[in-house]
Structure 1
């Protein structure tokens, strides 16, 4: 649900979770269903920006320089373990996410529509990693946490796996829509209405976060805009053409948890951004 919301809202998603919880398969399955192109980039310490964006090479037969497009030219790009590559390479991908185009040797090339980046990182292992700074985390619309499934879900997963739903069976999934249809849905999400009280409610939440206990950096105006976009996507999924406060509540945690900067003493005490967000929701009156 959260991943689909980020996609329809026109944003990108950062998924945090331990290895083996299905993050890569989730991205591949989504691509299969939308009928788009898919590329997976394994981020490593020696990965260069040109390995993502592409480069130019000299064609001796033609006597000209030709551009070889990188894996970023796909509808869905899985940036696996994005925190394992140096900041220069991270910035190359994040710039493409923001600008929706790539410059290769002075030539600008637009990225395909739709263009959706799913980045993953392991929240447990820190050795040999390059954590994303706050300004780059802000490029992701949502930070989605994937935890271990409950016991019944894990048993069901094993039953499906035994019944022929392994990794090699993904090509059997038939697309349910085309990239063109998905892009039109994304445009329809932008037309979902939000009343003035909803706008005021989001602004009040953002302003309250800037003075919240344990927070050194609250939600920015961009964070408020991101929350509105995600809420519109939720309303669209619920088959409504207008936003209600419940839509805001449904996405505020994944949209804001990576945008609120905790004070060092709050982190030492084990305070999490999700708890602060929940407290802010209790303090701001919900519009009727």
Structure 2
């Protein structure tokens, strides 16, 4: 009987999600949030799986609807650390969309991604191992960030031919990724219980390297300053401090850094 009821309810919810609007989104988000609140995730696996499936759908071209799905997915945070497999699944999907063409969707994805990494913590009896690993994730981001920097530096974002301005798609994707990484880094510090990891220290030089790339965009440049300040304002254990000093020395010895200072 419950399966039959859920089948009918799924049809109804699908219709709801296809017709969400600015006036109704917050109400449906509250509906899911309150419906999942203080519940055992083992008994709520149907709505959890339904919410997770919202990001499986193909792109519709409707930015608001796609953003809304990610917004509704955030209600899974009610279960916090108790749904590690769901967080891992979300993390795997979201990390492939960091260069999404629509800024609003990228912003929502960074919030969900930071939430998925929140529960990678060191416990008194050892390291949490069932949740997405922050070090592995940030190291993957660092490699992709280096690639994005190389693409952007080699390819001009805009080519002007007469009165026609052409935007290079690869350079645009690279800049989208760079902007998203900056936002994600900031969200990690605002949402994670233990934001400082070795990988966060390792990616810091790249956050310095991209300064020249975002120099002409006041909004991104301001966010970059904020995200680097997050590291400066965080309590660091001695071994993290030593590693950060090594990375800062690497930045200061970089030819790019000296070129910017000379300019």
TM value normalised by structure 2: 0.33
Higher helix share: 2
Q: Which has the higher strand share?
A: 1
Q: Tell me the TM-score normalised to structure 1 length.
A: 0.31
Quick one: higher RCO (CA 8 Å, sep 6+), 1 or 2?
A: 1
